[in-house]
Amino acid sequence: MNSNSRAIRIFILAGTFAISPIAGWAQDDEVDDAVKPAWVGLSADERRDVLAFAEDYKAFMSSAKTELSFVTEAIKVARAAGFRELTADSNLRPGAKFYDVNRDRTITLIVVGTEPFRDGFRVVGAHVDSPRLELKARPLYEMEGFALFQTYRHGGIKNYQWVNIPLALVGHVDKKDGSRVQISVGLDPKDPVFVIPDLSPHVDHDYRERMNRDVIMGEELDPIIGSIPNEENSVSDAVLSYLASEYSIEKDDLVSAELVLVPAMAPRDVGFDRSLMAIYGQDDKLSSYTALRAIIEQATPRRTSLAFLVDNEEVGNVNNTGAQSTYLVDLMSELIYRQQGDRYSDYDLRQALRKTKVVSSDVNPGIHPTYPDVWEPGNAPRLGHGVNFKLYGGGFNANSEFIAWNRGYLDGAGVVWQTATYKGRASGGTIGNSLSKDNMEVIDYGIPLLSIHSTYALSSKSDVHMLFRAMNAFYKAAD
């Protein structure tokens, strides 16, 4: 057996890639020997767990395309696991399981612990919105015999990635009479899809000087939605007639709609070994799904456990469903008040916040086999190498003692982990900044992806399962 065939066999059996060194790629002596692929050392039973978890994740992501649909699907999973909606008369006994929904777009799952609420909480926080195209308030227009929708971008995208792919229209329309009309077109294989067509190479000569992200401009991301005119030769009026007959909505109803365009591709395995998954929306429904699965594993914890799955991170944690709202602190305050009664004071809340430990989880770019030099090899997160601590620098890091505490329970649970620091700059993000402002102890960790913020990002099945194990261990870790 020659060396090349041996490398291919390692790739198929171990679920890792043997890549020949190229410019900028770390040689063996440049990478910490302690950082091994997460696949290495897994027992046969553990591998089966990884693969089964991945199948559940793909099935969930097939439906959870937006924050609204994520919350809907999460409620189904939670109720099947014994969680019930938190109400004014809910019995907050140790071991009780509840969920609380904020305006249909944020969900918090709660497992009541044995210690008083004023002694602090364990929180895993992640966001459920993803980069996408949203319809403008008055989106419908007609051009050259086509009806189109005008869109704008939610979160950072590379515009050119959204052309020439099948798109689905999902969301709802709220009408003045208080009714809500649900719309989903393009996810079912029998549905039509929508497409933003690119220029053909035969006629794009005048546009070839555009640079990178300007190859397709933001105002050019308008999908075709119809081309058959009505009797008055109007395609847009024909579309309005269809919307009226199919959904009983009028043109002005689109002003109070939340309709978005998302890739219509189903989750798929990647590679001969099926070690990777290609899925839209993994930033950051991936972390939210693992948090959902981790909290339903909790029986009766010591510290009350919360999974805080929140909207609008991609646009700055804004609005009353984003992490900068007071919703989470208000919920904690309510829980403490219901336990303390007339003895409750704001001091109880402030002490609880000070004693609360938080994992703010989000995915991040992983080292790329074709463009490895955008990372420093020793500080680069690699797919298939487990959970990565985000050490941003510049005041964004968790303090060293909290990092050490997190290392302790991860190592104790056999969770494979690594670190990630961006090359040449310090920065921080996700929802951690918002939570740390309320004096909670926060660390930021997640797993790496390839093609993050794209229409079809890649994750490693072993990493996804390691993140679930990490969150599970966090909820159970001793103080």
Dist. CA 423–CA 58, nearest whole Å: 32
pLDDT of 13 above 60? no
Pairing of strands 441-446, 387-390: antiparallel
d(C-alpha 198, C-alpha 221), whole Å:
10
Reported confidence tier of residue 8, pLDDT bands at 50, 70, 90: very low
pLDDT band at 424 (very low <50, low <70, confident <90, very high): confident
- Cα–Cα distances in Å, from 476 out to 41, 290, 406? 23, 15, 12
**Helix, coil or strand: residue 473:** helix
Q: Is the pLDDT of residue 17 over 90?
A: no
The predicted model gives 208-222 an average pLDDT of 89
Q: Find the angle CA(116)-CA(120)-CA(122) to the nearest 5 degrees.
A: 115
Residue boundaries of the structural domains of the chain = 44-130+280-476, 132-263
User: What is the dihedral angle through the alpha carbons of 78, 83, 89, 94, rounded to the nearest 10 degrees?
Assistant: -140
| Six token digits for residue 358 | 């938080």
Buried b (16+ CB within 10 A) or exposed e, 205-224: eeeeeeeeeebbeeebbbbe
Q: 188: helix, coil or strand?
A: coil
The answer to whether residues 64 and 70 touch, using CB atoms and an 8 Å cutoff, is: yes
Q: Residues 336-378: pLDDT tens digits?
A: 999 999 999 999 999 999 999 999 999 999 999 999 999 988 8
- State phi, psi for 369 to the nearest 5 degrees: -65, -25
E strand or H helix at 204: none
Q: Please tell me the class of the 44-130+280-476 domain.
A: alpha beta
For the cut 60, the answer to whether the pLDDT of residue 446 exceeds it is yes
Same fold, 44-130+280-476 and 132-263: no
Alpha-carbon dihedral of residues 473, 98, 465, 33, nearest 10 degrees? -30
Distance CA 426, CA 44 (A): 40
Q: DSSP per residue over 297-312, as a string?
A: T-SS-SSEEEEEEES-
Percent of the chain with pLDDT over 90: 82
Secondary structure (3-state) at 32: coil
Q: Convert the pLDDT of each residue in 34-84 to its tens digit.
A: 567 889 889 999 999 999 999 999 999 999 999 999 999 999 999 999 999
3-state helix, strand, coil in the chain (%, to 5): 35, 25, 40
Residues 282/377/433/447 CA torsion (nearest 10 deg): 30
pTM attached to this predicted model: 0.91
The class level of CATH for 132-263 reads mainly beta
Q: Is the pLDDT of residue 12 over 80?
A: no
